[in-house]
Amino acid sequence: MARERKTLLSRFFLRGIAALLPTLITIFIIYRIASFVHDNLGEPINNLIAMLPGIERATLPPLLGDAAGVLAILLVCMLFGFFLTSFIGRRLYKIVEDAVARLPILRVIYPPIKQLTDFFLSERRRFGRVVSVEYPRKGLRSIGFVTGEAMKDVKFPGDKKLLTIFIPSSPTPMTGYVIMLPEDEVQPLDISVDEALRFTISGGVLVPPSQQPLGADTNDVPAEDTGHKPPSQ
Protein backbone atom coordinates (compact mmCIF):
# COMPACT_ATOMS: atom_id res chain seq x y z
CA MET A 1 0.00 0.00 0.00
CA ALA A 2 2.78 2.40 0.91
CA ARG A 3 4.61 1.55 -2.31
CA GLU A 4 1.50 2.22 -4.38
CA ARG A 5 1.02 5.57 -2.62
CA LYS A 6 4.67 6.47 -3.31
CA THR A 7 4.27 5.48 -6.96
CA LEU A 8 1.13 7.59 -7.26
CA LEU A 9 2.87 10.61 -5.75
CA SER A 10 5.78 10.13 -8.16
CA ARG A 11 3.38 10.11 -11.10
CA PHE A 12 1.72 13.30 -9.85
CA PHE A 13 5.13 14.93 -9.43
CA LEU A 14 6.32 13.94 -12.92
CA ARG A 15 3.04 15.08 -14.46
CA GLY A 16 3.29 18.43 -12.66
CA ILE A 17 6.89 18.91 -13.77
CA ALA A 18 5.98 18.06 -17.36
CA ALA A 19 3.18 20.65 -17.29
CA LEU A 20 5.06 23.44 -15.49
CA LEU A 21 8.60 23.13 -16.86
CA PRO A 22 7.96 24.53 -20.38
CA THR A 23 6.15 27.55 -18.91
CA LEU A 24 8.83 28.17 -16.29
CA ILE A 25 11.65 27.92 -18.85
CA THR A 26 9.81 30.32 -21.17
CA ILE A 27 9.28 32.82 -18.34
CA PHE A 28 12.94 32.53 -17.31
CA ILE A 29 14.18 33.19 -20.86
CA ILE A 30 11.87 36.20 -21.26
CA TYR A 31 13.00 37.51 -17.85
CA ARG A 32 16.67 37.18 -18.74
CA ILE A 33 16.17 38.95 -22.06
CA ALA A 34 14.17 41.74 -20.40
CA SER A 35 16.86 42.12 -17.70
CA PHE A 36 19.59 42.32 -20.33
CA VAL A 37 17.70 44.98 -22.30
CA HIS A 38 16.93 46.97 -19.13
CA ASP A 39 20.48 46.90 -17.74
CA ASN A 40 22.38 47.45 -20.98
CA LEU A 41 20.01 49.64 -22.99
CA GLY A 42 17.10 50.88 -20.92
CA GLU A 43 19.06 52.53 -18.12
CA PRO A 44 21.70 54.15 -20.39
CA ILE A 45 18.97 55.51 -22.67
CA ASN A 46 17.08 56.97 -19.71
CA ASN A 47 20.30 58.57 -18.45
CA LEU A 48 20.91 60.13 -21.86
CA ILE A 49 17.37 61.48 -22.03
CA ALA A 50 17.75 62.92 -18.51
CA MET A 51 20.74 64.94 -19.74
CA LEU A 52 18.49 67.00 -21.99
CA PRO A 53 17.55 70.46 -20.64
CA GLY A 54 14.35 70.57 -18.60
CA ILE A 55 14.07 66.81 -18.14
CA GLU A 56 14.53 65.15 -14.77
CA ARG A 57 15.40 61.50 -14.40
CA ALA A 58 12.65 60.86 -11.86
CA THR A 59 9.93 62.13 -14.18
CA LEU A 60 10.70 59.69 -16.99
CA PRO A 61 8.35 56.69 -17.44
CA PRO A 62 10.05 53.58 -16.04
CA LEU A 63 9.71 51.60 -19.27
CA LEU A 64 10.65 54.40 -21.65
CA GLY A 65 14.28 53.35 -21.92
CA ASP A 66 13.38 49.66 -22.23
CA ALA A 67 10.92 50.36 -25.05
CA ALA A 68 13.48 52.52 -26.80
CA GLY A 69 16.08 49.77 -26.37
CA VAL A 70 13.82 47.16 -27.97
CA LEU A 71 13.10 49.51 -30.86
CA ALA A 72 16.82 50.17 -31.23
CA ILE A 73 17.53 46.42 -31.45
CA LEU A 74 14.82 45.96 -34.09
CA LEU A 75 16.12 48.92 -36.06
CA VAL A 76 19.72 47.70 -35.95
CA CYS A 77 18.66 44.21 -37.12
CA MET A 78 16.64 45.69 -39.99
CA LEU A 79 19.46 48.01 -41.06
CA PHE A 80 22.01 45.20 -40.87
CA GLY A 81 19.73 42.94 -42.93
CA PHE A 82 19.34 45.71 -45.50
CA PHE A 83 23.14 46.16 -45.55
CA LEU A 84 23.64 42.45 -46.23
CA THR A 85 21.44 42.64 -49.34
CA SER A 86 24.05 44.84 -51.02
CA PHE A 87 27.11 43.45 -52.82
CA ILE A 88 29.55 45.23 -50.49
CA GLY A 89 27.65 44.06 -47.42
CA ARG A 90 27.70 40.42 -48.50
CA ARG A 91 31.41 40.56 -49.33
CA LEU A 92 32.37 42.20 -46.03
CA TYR A 93 30.21 39.79 -44.03
CA LYS A 94 31.80 36.84 -45.82
CA ILE A 95 35.30 38.13 -45.04
CA VAL A 96 34.49 38.63 -41.35
CA GLU A 97 32.72 35.27 -41.13
CA ASP A 98 35.66 33.42 -42.65
CA ALA A 99 38.06 35.18 -40.28
CA VAL A 100 35.95 34.25 -37.24
CA ALA A 101 35.70 30.63 -38.41
CA ARG A 102 39.52 30.37 -38.38
CA LEU A 103 40.05 31.56 -34.81
CA PRO A 104 41.21 28.77 -32.47
CA ILE A 105 38.23 28.71 -30.08
CA LEU A 106 35.50 30.32 -32.15
CA ARG A 107 35.98 27.92 -35.05
CA VAL A 108 34.63 25.16 -32.78
CA ILE A 109 31.66 27.16 -31.46
CA TYR A 110 30.69 29.39 -34.38
CA PRO A 111 29.98 26.87 -37.21
CA PRO A 112 27.31 24.83 -35.32
CA ILE A 113 25.54 28.00 -34.16
CA LYS A 114 25.73 29.36 -37.70
CA GLN A 115 24.20 26.16 -39.07
CA LEU A 116 21.36 26.30 -36.56
CA THR A 117 20.49 29.93 -37.26
CA ASP A 118 20.73 29.42 -41.03
CA PHE A 119 18.53 26.35 -40.85
CA PHE A 120 15.75 27.87 -38.75
CA LEU A 121 15.87 31.52 -39.85
CA SER A 122 17.16 31.54 -43.40
CA GLU A 123 14.67 32.49 -46.09
CA ARG A 124 16.19 29.74 -48.24
CA ARG A 125 14.82 27.03 -45.95
CA ARG A 126 11.83 26.14 -48.08
CA PHE A 127 10.86 22.51 -47.72
CA GLY A 128 7.94 21.03 -49.55
CA ARG A 129 5.42 18.62 -48.10
CA VAL A 130 6.29 16.17 -45.34
CA VAL A 131 6.41 12.53 -46.38
CA SER A 132 7.28 9.09 -45.10
CA VAL A 133 9.59 6.90 -47.17
CA GLU A 134 11.01 3.40 -46.83
CA TYR A 135 14.56 4.25 -45.78
CA PRO A 136 17.33 3.24 -45.03
CA ARG A 137 16.12 -0.29 -45.91
CA LYS A 138 12.99 -2.27 -46.58
CA GLY A 139 10.74 -2.48 -43.55
CA LEU A 140 11.92 0.81 -41.98
CA ARG A 141 10.27 4.17 -42.56
CA SER A 142 11.72 7.65 -42.15
CA ILE A 143 10.32 11.17 -42.25
CA GLY A 144 11.49 13.36 -45.10
CA PHE A 145 10.79 16.57 -46.97
CA VAL A 146 10.11 16.80 -50.69
CA THR A 147 12.54 19.35 -52.09
CA GLY A 148 11.64 18.94 -55.76
CA GLU A 149 11.90 16.58 -58.69
CA ALA A 150 14.95 14.40 -59.18
CA MET A 151 17.78 15.24 -61.57
CA LYS A 152 16.83 14.45 -65.17
CA ASP A 153 19.73 12.03 -65.73
CA VAL A 154 18.68 9.86 -62.77
CA LYS A 155 16.51 7.07 -64.15
CA PHE A 156 14.43 4.30 -62.61
CA PRO A 157 13.05 1.13 -64.24
CA GLY A 158 9.69 1.88 -65.82
CA ASP A 159 10.56 5.54 -66.40
CA LYS A 160 8.71 6.57 -63.24
CA LYS A 161 8.61 10.14 -62.01
CA LEU A 162 11.25 10.59 -59.32
CA LEU A 163 11.23 13.00 -56.37
CA THR A 164 14.14 14.34 -54.36
CA ILE A 165 13.68 13.77 -50.63
CA PHE A 166 15.72 15.25 -47.81
CA ILE A 167 15.92 12.90 -44.81
CA PRO A 168 16.89 14.94 -41.71
CA SER A 169 19.00 13.39 -38.97
CA SER A 170 18.16 13.53 -35.27
CA PRO A 171 18.65 15.62 -33.17
CA THR A 172 20.36 17.98 -35.65
CA PRO A 173 18.03 18.22 -38.67
CA MET A 174 20.28 20.63 -40.56
CA THR A 175 22.23 17.52 -41.57
CA GLY A 176 20.89 14.40 -43.20
CA TYR A 177 20.67 12.52 -46.47
CA VAL A 178 19.29 13.28 -49.92
CA ILE A 179 17.63 10.43 -51.77
CA MET A 180 15.70 10.12 -55.03
CA LEU A 181 12.89 7.61 -55.43
CA PRO A 182 9.67 7.09 -57.38
CA GLU A 183 6.72 9.29 -56.48
CA ASP A 184 4.45 6.28 -55.94
CA GLU A 185 6.74 5.10 -53.12
CA VAL A 186 6.29 8.34 -51.18
CA GLN A 187 3.61 8.44 -48.47
CA PRO A 188 2.34 11.98 -47.73
CA LEU A 189 1.92 12.92 -44.06
CA ASP A 190 -0.70 15.39 -42.87
CA ILE A 191 1.64 17.42 -40.65
CA SER A 192 3.45 20.73 -41.07
CA VAL A 193 7.18 21.16 -41.62
CA ASP A 194 7.58 22.64 -38.13
CA GLU A 195 5.81 19.66 -36.55
CA ALA A 196 8.05 17.27 -38.46
CA LEU A 197 11.15 19.19 -37.34
CA ARG A 198 10.04 19.09 -33.69
CA PHE A 199 9.44 15.34 -34.01
CA THR A 200 12.95 14.87 -35.46
CA ILE A 201 14.77 17.12 -32.99
CA SER A 202 13.09 15.44 -30.01
CA GLY A 203 13.99 11.98 -31.24
CA GLY A 204 10.34 11.11 -31.83
CA VAL A 205 9.11 12.26 -28.41
CA LEU A 206 7.10 15.27 -29.63
CA VAL A 207 4.50 13.54 -31.79
CA PRO A 208 2.17 15.99 -33.63
CA PRO A 209 -1.31 16.06 -32.04
CA SER A 210 -2.97 14.87 -35.24
CA GLN A 211 -0.68 11.82 -35.29
CA GLN A 212 -1.16 10.70 -31.69
CA PRO A 213 -2.20 7.02 -31.48
CA LEU A 214 -5.83 6.52 -30.50
CA GLY A 215 -6.20 6.32 -26.73
CA ALA A 216 -2.66 7.54 -26.08
CA ASP A 217 -2.10 9.70 -23.00
CA THR A 218 1.15 11.65 -23.40
CA ASN A 219 1.16 12.54 -19.70
CA ASP A 220 1.13 8.96 -18.52
CA VAL A 221 4.26 7.43 -17.09
CA PRO A 222 5.24 4.14 -18.79
CA ALA A 223 4.33 0.99 -16.91
CA GLU A 224 7.98 0.10 -16.33
CA ASP A 225 8.52 3.38 -14.50
CA THR A 226 5.71 2.78 -12.01
CA GLY A 227 7.08 -0.43 -10.60
CA HIS A 228 4.09 -2.46 -11.88
CA LYS A 229 4.62 -5.33 -14.25
CA PRO A 230 2.11 -6.02 -17.02
CA PRO A 231 -0.09 -9.03 -16.37
CA SER A 232 1.16 -12.26 -17.89
CA GLN A 233 -0.74 -13.61 -20.85
Does the pLDDT of residue 155 top 60, yes or no? yes
**Residue 233 to residue 226: CA distance in whole angstroms:** 20
> How many Cα atoms occupy the beta-carbon half-sphere of 47 within 13 Å?
7
| Residue 222: predicted pLDDT | 45
The ranges assigned to domains in the chain are: 130-207
pLDDT band at 221 (very low <50, low <70, confident <90, very high): very low
223 or 50: whose pLDDT is higher? 50
Please give the full DSSP string across 149-210, using - where no structure is assigned: EPPTT---TT---EEEEEEE-SS-TTSEEEEEEEGGG-EE-SS-HHHHHHHHHTTT-S--GG
Query: What is the mean predicted confidence (pLDDT) over 145-168?
Result: 87
| Residue 219: predicted pLDDT | 46
| Residue 78: predicted pLDDT | 92
pLDDT band at 144 (very low <50, low <70, confident <90, very high): very high
pLDDT band at 110 (very low <50, low <70, confident <90, very high): confident
Does the pLDDT of residue 231 top 50, yes or no? no
Q: What are phi and psi of 157, to 5 degrees?
A: -50, 135
Does the pLDDT of residue 187 top 90, yes or no? yes
Residue-wise pLDDT tens digits, 112-128: 788 777 766 665 556 77
Does residue 144 contact residue 197 with C-beta atoms inside 8 Å? no
Does residue 161 contact residue 183 with C-beta atoms inside 8 Å? yes
Q: Minimal CA–CA distance to 179: which of 148, 138, 139?
A: 148
Query: Which of 100-109, 184-193, 194-203, 207-216 comes out lowest in average pLDDT?
Result: 207-216
Query: What is the mean predicted confidence (pLDDT) over 174-198?
Result: 90
**Residue 184 to residue 165: CA distance in whole angstroms:** 13
